[in-house]
Amino acid sequence: DAKTTQPTSMDCAEGRAANLPCNHSTISGNEYVYWYRQIHSQGPQYIIHGLKNNETNEMASLIITEDRKSSTLILPHATLRDTAVYYCIGSGAGSYQLTFGKGTKLSVIP
Amino acid sequence: DVKVTQSSRYLVKRTGEKVFLECVQDMDHENMFWYRQDPGLGLRLIYFSYDVKMKEKGDIPEGYSVSREKKERFSLILESASTNQTSMYLCASSSNRRDFYEQYFGPGTRLTVT
C-alpha cells in the first residue's frame, strides 16, 4: 500500500473552499487514491476516489498531479458540517482492508 | 443512498458474555466488513464476507466469529467477551459493480466490556 502523508490539521472559513493536500509518492501505477472523512462519533464516510484523472462528484473534487505523487481534495464551499478528520488512502494491490493513517483534522470556522 | 445500519449504538456487556453485533445494508452489496477502531490504532479489519456464507479473516480475527446467512445481513459474534474487546465496532459494505474500496459504513457500535 502507498504510504500517505497529510497535514495534521487545517482551518477553513465557512463558505470558502477547503483544499486538503496529500502526498503519496510511493503509490504504484494501478493504485487508486481514496478520500474518506470521519465526523466525530460517526462511521467513516466515502467521499471520492481517482486514478490519474481529476474527478468531481456532488461532495468534492479530487485533483491528482500528473506524476501521481500527490493529490488535493477540494470542498468548494465548506460548511460547519464539513468539520471532520479527512483521510487519504491508497487502495493497495491485494489488500482487503482500508488502512487509515492519522488524517487531517479540518475545522470549519464560522 | 446506501444505508448501513447497526443494531445498537452503545452496548455494555460483562466479561465472558456472548455478544452479537448485527449489521444490515439495503443496497444489495456483495461485500460486507467488520472493523474495530481504537484510539492510536486506527481502523483494523476483523472479518469480511464477499458472498453469503463466505468469509475471510482480516488482521485481528481472534476472539471473533461472523455469520452471513443472508446477503443483506452480517453478524459479528464475540464468543466470550473480554475487556480488551472494548472498542468502537464499524460495519461497512461495498459493491463489486462499483468498487471494492468504495465502502459505506454504519454509525458504529461502541461496546464496553466490564
CA distance B70 to chain A (A): 21
Given a cut of 90, whether residue A93 has pLDDT beyond it is no
Query: Measured between CA atoms, how close is B24 to chain A, in angstroms?
Result: 14
- What is the average pLDDT across B17-27? 96
Q: What is the pLDDT of residues A17-76, one digit of tens each?
A: 999 999 988 888 788 899 999 998 899 999 999 998 899 999 999 999 999 999 999 999
The answer to whether A46 contacts B56, with C-beta atoms less than 8 Å apart, is: no
pLDDT at residue A94 tops 90: no
Å between A13 CA and nearest CA of chain B? 27
Q: What is the mean pLDDT of residues A7-19?
A: 97
Provide the edge-to-edge strand list for the sheet that holds A70-75. Answer: A18-23, A70-75, A61-64, A55-56
Yes or no, beta carbons of A32 and B105 under 8 Å apart: no
CA-based end-to-end distance of chain B: 37
The reported pLDDT for the residue numbered A92 is 66
Q: Using CB atoms within 10 A of its CB, is residue A53 exposed (0-12), middle (13-18) or buried (19+)?
A: exposed
- How many Å is the Cα radius of gyration of chain B? 13
Chain A contacts of B43, Cβ < 8 Å?
Answer: 44, 97-100
DSSP B27-72: S--SEEEEEEEETTTEEEEEEEEEETTEEEE-S--TTEEEEEEETT
Q: How far is CA A33 from each of CA A63, A85, A109, B39, rounded to the nearest angstrom?
A: 10, 17, 27, 24
pLDDT for A62: 97
The phi and psi torsions of B84 (rounded to 5 degrees) equal -75, 0
Chain A residue nearest residue B5, CA to CA = A43
Position with higher pLDDT, B1 vs B82? B82
Structure confidence at residue A41 (pLDDT): 85
User: For residues B14 and B34, what is the distance between their CA atoms, to the nearest angstrom?
Assistant: 21
Judge whether A51 is closer than 8 Å to chain B, CB to CB: no
B32 and B68 Cβ atoms separated by less than 8 Å: yes
Q: Taking 90 as the threshold, does the pLDDT of residue B23 lie above it?
A: yes
Q: How far apart are CA B2 and CA A45, in angstroms?
A: 11
- Spatial CA neighbour of A60 closest among A42, A72, A70: A72
More confident: B65 or A90: B65
Distances (CA, A) of A107 to A31, A38, A74, A77, A79: 29, 12, 14, 13, 10
Bridge partners for B21 per DSSP: B76
Give the pLDDT confidence score for residue B108 in this predicted structure.
Answer: 96
Q: Determine contact: B47 vs chain A, CB below 8 A.
A: no
User: What distance in Å separates residue A16's CA from the closest CA in chain B?
Assistant: 27
User: Looking at the complex, does the CB of residue A105 fall below 8 Å from at least one CB of chain B?
Assistant: no
Question: What cell does B46 get?
Answer: 476483523
